[in-house]
Amino acid sequence: MVNEIADQYGFKIAHLEIGKDDHVHLLVSAPPKLSVTNIVRWLKGITAFQLFRQCPELQTHYWKQKNRHLWSPSYYVESIGTVNEQAVAKYIDDQRKREK
């Protein structure tokens, strides 16, 4: 699902790791013309819409919540700068191991 969104909007998911509890780690490669805010908005908005449409039972759980959102409004972003993609991918994988 996230790769389809990335293809549609012109960025790449280089690495994805789903956290143990309630978070996702992504390594995204995007051209400078795309803002981080838009990428996060597309990923969160479209995945929530599609999941609720494909699995309506999720709505009865999440929409009972006061904020009525699947995703938290917050996110953390860091540019990898001079570090290569392999190093960041290893870091993301190591986060999963720490959570166990």
**Residues known to be catalytic:** 91
Q: What are phi and psi of 14, to 5 degrees?
A: -80, -30
**Token pair of 91 as six digits:** 């870091």
What Cα–Cα distance (Å) separates residue 52 from each residue in 2, 11, 28, 49? Answer: 15, 24, 24, 5
Give CA–CA dist 54/26, Å, rounded: 23
Q: What single letter denotes the amino acid at residue 84?
A: N
